Structure 1
Amino acid sequence: MMGSIMRKFKDKTDKRALMTRNGATVLKELIASSHGKYNPYRIFSAKELEIATNNYDEIKIIKQDSTYKLYKGFWQERLISVMRFRESNRDEHGSCINNIVYAAQMSHNHILKLIGCCLETQIPILAFESVEFGNLHDRILSASQPQIEPLLMKHRLKIAMDIAHALAYLHFGFPRPIVYRDFKTAHILFTEENVAKLFDFSLSISIPEGETHITTDTVIGTWGYSAPEYLSTGVFNEKSDVYGFGAFLFELLTGQIISDLLKAAHNLGCPLEEYFKKFIEDNSFTEIVDRIIIQDILCLRKEQQLHAYAQLMSECLKQSPIVAITYEPSYVQILCTPVDD
């Protein structure tokens, strides 16, 4: 009896200690990066999130990678998504705090909204708005999902523009630009079939005041999406995200994963931008376009949009690219023009 009481007392003491440590860390980082402006969020208990996910039932996994699993959850008659980091690596504590700090500052229709977090576990557990339709990587590049309608050209253009606005918001919507730093299709989730949300701020960082770039000794990110100049020098800024956006556009256009596209370019001895240009110069552009898009092009306006899309992609893949998604040159305006079905 005494042993049971002591264990319960110890559990409560441990939880208080973790909440104090995690809460202090989150508050410190929020103050440092958000200038005191961030969205309110709820503090969950560990038990509440266990119940919400049916004790983290594997059937409820929406997405997972080497650092975390994202679960479907149900809390107070509301669907939520629960992000639980693996506790085997201490580095994940920093990634988790980063997610809380940056997600708490976001107020954008195409960035996944943070609802709350649990601070009484070794690594905090995060709760977001519901995403039940998977990620873009699985949707278009790998998994066959016949129950979901194919992504036609109009859908892909909408996803591209929505995510472009989300990136522009990170770069220009805050006192200091936020570099997302790990842009890829696996980090684009769907709240409805074609409503895209940018997710996962594990590697995001703000450009320091008075600086135009950041230099790191260790290059981090995902191979294929990282800008060549960042890989060679360790120097990065918002334009590194623009290159990643260009790689994303290439995947969206071709229906192929970026690693396969890079291997094909490497076999020809050229960078990704030059590989794409070869198809333009040889008048064989449609050979690399996803067959679903080719079948969908039935009018001149759609063909114009396809070529405008290709031009934007080419600009983004250039070394030291222009911030095309913000300045909105003519080809971006064409992308924004609705097309009748």
Structure 2
Amino acid sequence: MSKFKDRTDERTLMVRTDKRALMMRSGASVLKELIASSNGKYYPYRIFSAQEIKLATNNYDQKNVIAKDTSYNLYTMYKGFWQERLISVLQFHGHECRPRAYESCINNVTYAAQMSHNHILKLIGCCLETPIPILVFESVQYGTLWDRILGAPQPHFEPLLLKHRLKIAMDIVHALAYLHFGFPRPIVFRNFKTSCILFNEENVAKLFDFSLSISIPEGETHITDTVMGTWGYCSPEYMRTGVFNEKSDVFSFGVFLFELLTGWDVSDLVKDVHDLVCPFSEYLKNCFEDNRFTEIVDHIVVEDVSSIEKEQQLHASAQVTFECIKDSPADRPSMVDVAKKLRQIYRSL
């Protein structure tokens, strides 16, 4: 009996030691990246146990899935309930030997912990007991923007009229401008797309997923790196050379705005194109010149555009799209300029 108890105690001790080792390793990685990217400032967050997360998500019930990474299958986000509070739980797939998932997770903690913006998903804390930390955010129960405009019809959601779409665009462009101008070193989101926008219970749009985000080094104007991201959203200069900066996010925002207004999936337009340069600029230019932009606009928006004023707002929004996706980064506006233009268009509604 004594030997059995000794073995049980030994196994318990090993489990505790393993958890402690995981927590120390993950905690050290998070803190190192956080301090490096925030000029020495430390942003506290709550530490959850693996058991708390399991209970909050009803053992990761598939009925509670809010969003999934469809590009690389890196993560799944779940609805959760903890201490009489709704939460969102982001679980990364794989193990510590899958560096991409682990690095993406650490990057999300690093950047999300620094954010203080109404339209960026707020990080509450994380669980460090698992091989890849599990992240806990504020509640976003209503799916992604991709689900709303490109996914299967959802009768429980009201149609997104022009004013709703412009409000989403205006809110999110402010979040991106905050990344570019709200920190000592500009943060490039790098993989901005419709599936990176979630909605809370008040239907407020929230930007999330900092998996590929990076800060521009002090004294530098751009970064050169391996091309990563989503086909169709990447800027032409990034696809050609691996060079990118804030203007690459502006290009991605233009593609996003195109999808938001038209309801078209960008991948449908580029899947048969073998050139590395996304053809949106030329495509949209032809639409403007032929006065047929309304032919490709989402039918919900077209039916809503019942006055000359709304038609003017639609064309003004399309013009912003065209400016954002110009081939040369120097010809694109800054994200602050885009925010100003969209705010003017929205307020004229």
Q: How does 1:79-158 map to 2 (within 5 A)?
A: 79-88=86-95, 89-158=98-167
Match of 1:303 in 2: 311
The whole-number CA distance in structure 2 between the counterparts of 1:270 and 1:63 is 27
> What do you get for the CA RMSD once the two structures are aligned?
1.9
CA separation of 1:67 and 1:57: change in aligned 2, threshold 3 A: same
Deviation at 1:314, TM superposition (A): 0.3
Q: Which one of the candidate residues 75, 94, 107 is aligned to 1:68? A: 75
The whole-number CA distance in structure 2 between the counterparts of 1:324 and 1:30 is 27
Match of 2:205 in 1: 196
CA shift digits 1:229-286 (9 cap, x unpaired): 100011000000000000000101110101113358889x982111011111112121
The whole-number CA distance in structure 2 between the counterparts of 1:263 and 1:86 is 27
The whole-number CA distance in structure 1 between the counterparts of 2:344 and 2:315 is 10
| Aligned partners of 2:77 and 2:89 also within 8 Å | yes
Deviation at 1:41, TM superposition (A): 1.1
Q: Which one of the candidate residues 325, 332, 337 is aligned to 1:327? A: 337
| Aligned partners of 1:265 and 1:275 also within 8 Å | no
Classify the secondary structure of the residue corresponding to 1:192.
Answer: coil
Moved over 6 A (4+): 264-267
Q: How does 1:1-341 map to 2 (within 5 A)?
A: 1=4, 2-65=6-69, 66-88=73-95, 89-192=98-201, 194-216=203-225, 218-263=226-271, 271-319=279-327, 320=329, 321-328=331-338, 331-339=341-349
Deviates more, 1:1-10 or 1:272-281: 1-10
The whole-number CA distance in structure 2 between the counterparts of 1:325 and 1:212 is 15
The whole-number CA distance in structure 1 between the counterparts of 2:42 and 2:269 is 39
Classify the secondary structure of the residue corresponding to 1:12.
Answer: helix
The whole-number CA distance in structure 1 between the counterparts of 2:340 and 2:60 is 48
The amino acid of 1:85's aligned partner reads F
The whole-number CA distance in structure 2 between the counterparts of 1:32 and 1:325 is 25
The amino acid of 2:332's aligned partner reads I
The whole-number CA distance in structure 2 between the counterparts of 1:23 and 1:306 is 48
Unaligned runs of 5+ in 2: none
| Aligned partners of 2:177 and 2:339 also within 8 Å | no
CA separation of 1:44 and 1:333: change in aligned 2, threshold 3 A: closer
The amino acid of 2:52's aligned partner reads E
| Aligned partners of 2:233 and 2:251 also within 8 Å | yes
> Could you tell me the TM-score, scaled by structure 2's length?
0.92
The whole-number CA distance in structure 2 between the counterparts of 1:176 and 1:107 is 16
Alignment identity in percent? 65
CA shift digits 1:303-337 (9 cap, x unpaired): 12111101100000002142343125874353231
CA shift digits 1:39-72 (9 cap, x unpaired): 4210111111111011111111111120011000
CA separation of 1:11 and 1:307: change in aligned 2, threshold 3 A: same
Deviation at 1:189, TM superposition (A): 0.5
The amino acid of 1:6's aligned partner reads E
CA separation of 1:10 and 1:27: change in aligned 2, threshold 3 A: same
Unaligned runs of 5+ in 1: none
Deviation at 1:195, TM superposition (A): 1.3
Deviates more, 1:37-46 or 1:69-78: 37-46
The amino acid of 1:298's aligned partner reads S
CA separation of 1:312 and 1:278: change in aligned 2, threshold 3 A: same
The whole-number CA distance in structure 2 between the counterparts of 1:296 and 1:38 is 47
Deviation at 1:37, TM superposition (A): 3.2
| Aligned partners of 1:37 and 1:105 also within 8 Å | no
